[in-house]
Structure 1
């Protein structure tokens, strides 16, 4: 039986779906009981536990063959760094208390970088806190989610301009569908253990793309020209605060500064493997563009 923390989210739901399709028992761990029916409909056992309640988490993951954990960015948190550290501590305490045998942790590209580069740094700390635990670990680092562009699509459709914090429109970067991350995680969980204490895997899509490629995909779906345009660095914080808290916005500003330095938010050199999803950019964005 596999326990999936955050099973109602995009990645967790994809993992649960793939595991159930393969015939594995799944315990879906949710915070919100209102989201249970979709998982129950897959045939999952459902457990309710808050991420910040280590005792409830330990009970929910008890007896699992392996546990998938995820550290969700708290989009409205007053102090996102502190809240992500508390969530990390809660999950580590639960895994230790439940004496879990194996864990798959969803992390982030760039989590190997020692400098503070915003969001990837929070996942570096996440990984570092997991390392002392006496259990087998798979660290699945995810590239930027294709679905994250959904927030900019309404603006692009209204104005013909796709705003982006990437400053070079033709520079390729790694990106992946969230659903593919979940499917890759399911494959890794169902594979035989390799025997090592830690395995690093990087998840990205079938090919890398640029902001101009994203605009091209939206253009093809909308049936009219859309151009990518960089948001001025001086406007990043204010622009991000329209949709997330100032503390999350600050983490993202640091992240995109690292993107623009190049080579940081990427595969860790000389370590781990790359698994590629099959969903291309156009298919990932299709549901966000209204059919004419």
Structure 2
């Protein structure tokens, strides 16, 4: 069983589809009760859990071998991730995966009006 947090989001939804296509047993977690039925219709176990509800997070992780964890960008996202990881540890999950987002490399520009030549390789 693989538990996917953020199963209706930008990275979670395609992951759920890919896992189901490979025949994996998926538990899809959403914080929106209105989206749970659509997840279940796709063939996975749908669970509604809020990142602040430790008991709901533990139920979402129960019996899972792996979790994929992504949270929305929010001022509390560090606490939410800690809550989900704590729940996963309590449930005996041994493998976690989360996306790593890196910022794009900054590019240098120039103003030719000042007589400064444009930098090369930018």
TM-score, normalization by structure 1: 0.35
SS of match in other structure, 1:90: helix
- 1:62 aligned residue: 62
Q: Shift in Å at residue 84 of structure 1?
A: 2.1
Give the structure 2 partner of residue 257 of structure 1. Answer: none
Cα deviation, 1:164-205, whole Å, max 9, x if unaligned, reads xx6647xxxxxxxxxxxxxxxxxxxxxxxxxxxxxxxxxxxx
1: distance between equivalents of 2:65 and 2:78? 26
Structure 1 vs Structure 2 CA RMSD? 1.9
In 1, distance between residues paired with 2:78 and 2:46?
A: 26
In structure 2, C-alpha distance between the alignment counterparts of 1:97 and 1:69, rounded to whole Å: 15
Query: Alpha-carbon deviations, 1:136-166, whole Å to 9, x = none?
Result: xxxxxxx7xxxxxxxxxxxxxxxxxxxxxx6
Would the aligned equivalents of 1:31 and 1:48 in 2 still touch at CA under 8 Å?
yes
In 1, Cα distance between equivalents of 2:46 and 2:97: 19
* Distance in 2 of aligned mates of 1:47 and 1:84: 20
Structure 1 residue runs of 5 or longer lacking an equivalent are 75-79, 111-142, 144-165, 170-292
Larger radius of gyration: 2
Q: 2:95 aligns with which of 85, 93, 102?
A: 102
Paired residue secondary structure (1:39): helix
Which residue pairs with 2:46 in the alignment?
46
> Which structure 1 residue ranges, 4+ long, deviate > 4 Å from structure 2?
166-169
Q: What is the count of residue pairs matched by the alignment?
A: 108
Aligned partner of 1:148 in structure 2 is: none
Looking at secondary structure, tell me which structure has more helix per residue: 1
Runs of 5+ unmatched residues, structure 2: 110-122
Identify the residue that residue 84 of structure 1 maps to in structure 2.
77
Q: What secondary structure does 1:99 align onto?
A: coil
Q: What does the per-residue CA deviation read over 1:231-278, in whole Å, with 9 as the maximum and x for residues that have no partner?
A: xxxxxxxxxxxxxxxxxxxxxxxxxxxxxxxxxxxxxxxxxxxxxxxx
| Structure 1 contact 71–106 (Cα < 8 Å) conserved | no
Write out aligned runs for 1:142-153 (5 A).
Answer: none
Deviation by residue 1:58-91 (Cα, 9 ceiling, x = unmatched): 11111112110013202xxxxx2xx122212212
Distance 2:55 2:69 in 1: 15
Q: 1:107 aligns to what SS in structure 2? A: coil
